[in-house]
Structure 1
């Protein structure tokens, strides 16, 4: 069953995790991000009509209450489901790369204010809201520019530091791996790239301590 809500003037549909198509997408997202499916929220579909936008915001949380279920949102995957004739770009106003990105008149004025990505059907954008040391990344501020011509359809997948289905994680303890993919991830350098999940922090032990050779 699909759940539809309104966020401001936007129409948002939450997709059920048990849907076979959704499960296939979830698996591809997990392989791309090296973050397990159980760390993700339900995928949501957003529909932007002419003039609609999403103001710049952070995906990580500013309060402890929202972090109790899965911790911070560490990664976001935006999937573009339609082409937009003009506008509708995803913009990062504080990105350090905004000064070196060339832009012509095909970009909206909103997009010219930061580093931007045009929505193209079939493309996906991955960005992280936390640094490798688990601190929040202020440069991850992002928004959706107003649609000027056409309409925009997109899918959003938010992924957390921990399992999003369980408020409290019960660690197995000891020198063990808690995910069967840990050896593969460690071999590809994820112990250094994603230490919060792989190794852990003072607050919680990581899921791949054995493969990361820290115990």
Structure 2
């Protein structure tokens, strides 16, 4: 659309050029005076309206900021719905303000754009918006939450003060639209239906409500059709054409659906629609039995093997070399051995680690099965967190922790990797994987240190809901407990890859999750964990 001020400029140019050469043309200029007045008035009204909208955005943002500052912002954002709403609101408010201000004079536009440019790196982008939606969908699937629970922000948190406000129809529409654009019609059906329910609670006689209904009908009818619900697609398309008779796509869809239904020999009965079909299409690892075990373990279910195994597990104190205090170990699995070590890091040390890591946090990556993997790995939705690396030389606390880890595990840290610190965001997770390098990816680690022989994961925070480290093949789960750590060997005593150590980080449903990884390598540990005599 051409801006109003440009229309005004173009019209002025067209009536003044060469008008002085002819009284007729000059007369036409005089006659056009009323048009000029009309254009100016239209422009002024549009400007007042634009400025009023801009002022409204400023008031809305100020009120929201005051509300956030009154409470505990960290606790507020630990709720994934609150985090999603803040991401969406900040993204939309800035986008709306830019859209409004870009229509102003060129000088003010440039000035505003320059002043906001430095903020853009600190504000949610479109990718952030899409990521927040994917996080909610991941939480919905992993923890079997129905759409009503999520849209009503009913996560069953321990404190009512931590609950988020219900999602609006627009919020639900945005989630459905994001799923739709990824051809995820399973989720788009769920969320467009919820959006429709919320819009139907509004005054349907208002034009802006009708526009929202029309948009929802547009997406929902096709989503239903793609999921095999042709009668229900006809029902929605019919409502679409009733509320917007001139909507050609709705008319075309209705014609197509009816023809297709006639070919099946079925009759359309608006009062007796078939049950909703909405099967979720899962492929790859998500379709395996191991992934199903992963999901059940994330939900806190106890599987048969873990139930049998638990009868033989014990908690014990184990002496530590050069230390007056023994290690408090809790066995979680016997073969391969998986233990939880209590109170391995203090609150003060946790604060130091977090303070050192925060300025360095960057999106975590994964290693591909080829030598072309870039430094830091490949960014992917299978791993959603930010990480930083801390070497012993950076702070005495890090060096002290490394020495403690060596005493507790009995392994040398001379060839170990730097301490990796991770912070998980909305729905942050890491799908099941093994920590060792496979033969087809030998260049992941530095030459001469060998493979990752063992893993130590430290939990720097308690997590209110979700966030467990689960082992599908062992049917075991480790729940985050601040100050503790999980330890296991990735290789067996002969140095072979132990595929049973497949593990994943469950999505964080509520709360903050900070962890550290310390990976030990084969080199230097030949005598700390020698091969069995029979090998």
1:64-83 CA distance string (max 9 Å, x none)? 22353411000000000000
**Paired residue for 1:14, among 373, 389, 394?**
389
* More relative contact order, 1 or 2 (CA 8 Å, 6+ apart): 1
Q: C-alpha displacement at 1:34, in angstroms?
A: 1.4
TM-score scaled by structure 1? 0.66
User: 5 Å matches for 1:127-206?
Assistant: 127-162=488-523, 190=528, 194-195=529-530
**Paired residue for 1:25, among 397, 401, 406?**
401
Q: Which residue of 1 aligns with 2:188?
A: none
Give the SS at the match of 2:458.
strand
After TM superposition, the structure 1 stretch with the greater mean CA deviation from structure 2, 150-159 or 10-19, is 10-19
Task: Give the distance between the partners of 2:496 and 2:391, measured in 1 at CA.
Answer: 31
Cα distance change on mapping 1:64 and 1:16 into 2, 3 Å: closer
Task: Give the distance between the partners of 2:508 and 2:517, measured in 1 at CA.
Answer: 17
Contact 1:73 1:129 in 2 (8 A): yes
Give the SS at the match of 2:491.
coil
TM-score scaled by structure 2? 0.27
Task: Give the distance between the partners of 1:155 and 1:140, measured in 2 at CA.
Answer: 18
Could you list the runs of 5+ residues in structure 2 that have no partner in the other structure?
Answer: 1-355, 365-378
Could you list the runs of 5+ residues in structure 1 that have no partner in the other structure?
Answer: 99-114, 164-178, 202-215
Give the SS at the match of 2:444.
helix
Task: Give the distance between the partners of 1:65 and 1:92, measured in 2 at CA.
Answer: 26
Instruction: Give the length in aligned residue pairs.
Output: 155
Q: Which residue of 2 aligns with 1:66?
A: 444
Q: C-alpha displacement at 1:52, in angstroms?
A: 1.1
Task: Give the distance between the partners of 2:361 and 2:514, measured in 1 at CA.
Answer: 15
Task: Give the distance between the partners of 2:488 and 2:465, measured in 1 at CA.
Answer: 23
Task: Give the distance between the partners of 1:13 and 1:65, measured in 2 at CA.
Answer: 21
Give the SS at the match of 1:64.
coil
Task: Give the distance between the partners of 2:461 and 2:452, measured in 1 at CA.
Answer: 25
Higher share in strand: 1
Q: C-alpha displacement at 1:11, in angstroms?
A: 1.2
Task: Give the distance between the partners of 2:486 and 2:461, measured in 1 at CA.
Answer: 14
1:85-110 CA distance string (max 9 Å, x none)? 01000000111xx2xxxxxxxxxxxx
**Paired residue for 1:90, among 436, 455, 469?**
469
Task: Give the distance between the partners of 1:69 and 1:91, measured in 2 at CA.
Answer: 31
Give the SS at the match of 2:363.
strand
Contact 1:50 1:151 in 2 (8 A): no
Task: Give the distance between the partners of 1:64 and 1:47, measured in 2 at CA.
Answer: 28
Higher share in helix: 2
Question: Is residue 46 from structure 1 mapped to residue 381 from structure 2 by the alignment?
Answer: no
The structure number with the bigger radius of gyration is 2
1:100-157 CA distance string (max 9 Å, x none)? xxxxxxxxxxxxxxx1000010111111100011111011111100000112000110
Give the SS at the match of 2:398.
helix
Task: Give the distance between the partners of 2:436 and 2:390, measured in 1 at CA.
Answer: 21
1:4-39 CA distance string (max 9 Å, x none)? 331144110111211200011000111112111112
Runs of 4+ in structure 1 displaced over 4 angstroms?
none
Task: Give the distance between the partners of 2:454 and 2:442, measured in 1 at CA.
Answer: 18
